[in-house]
Amino acid sequence: MESSSRTSCALPSGDFWLFDSRILGRFHFDGDRSLGMELTDHPTDVLIGCQVRDAAWHFALPYDTFHTRVPSRP
């Protein structure tokens, strides 16, 4: 999903991963520098992550379409 689409559909801006819909990994950044990932299995955090993932899925693009819209970095 493109970052610009995230704001138009009112999804949170943070980056995260879901592991088996049971553990949420929330990324922390300082600008472009990664500060690491915080893992949580707190039910509220995981539920919100699942809801955000499910909402974002409706705006997903097939990889071939997405790839043509985003220029590769050298």
Range of the domain at 55: 3-69
For residue 51, being part of any structural domain is answered with yes
For residue 74, being part of any structural domain is answered with no
Q: What is residue 60's predicted lDDT score, i.e. its pLDDT?
A: 83
pLDDT greater than 70 at residue 11: yes
Strand-by-strand arrangement of the 23-30 sheet: 16-19, 23-30, 33-40
Which band of pLDDT confidence, cut at 50, 70 and 90, is reported for residue 7? low
Weakest-pLDDT range from 4-8, 10-14, 15-19, 62-66: 4-8
For residue 38, being part of any structural domain is answered with yes
Q: Which two tokens stand for residue 63?
A: 């990889």
* C-alpha separations of 14 from 17, 27, 28 in Å: 10, 7, 8
For residue 57, being part of any structural domain is answered with yes
Read off the pLDDT of residues 34-65 as tens digits, 9 standing for 90 and up: 999 999 999 999 999 999 999 888 888 888 88
Query: How many domains does the structure of the chain reveal?
Result: 1
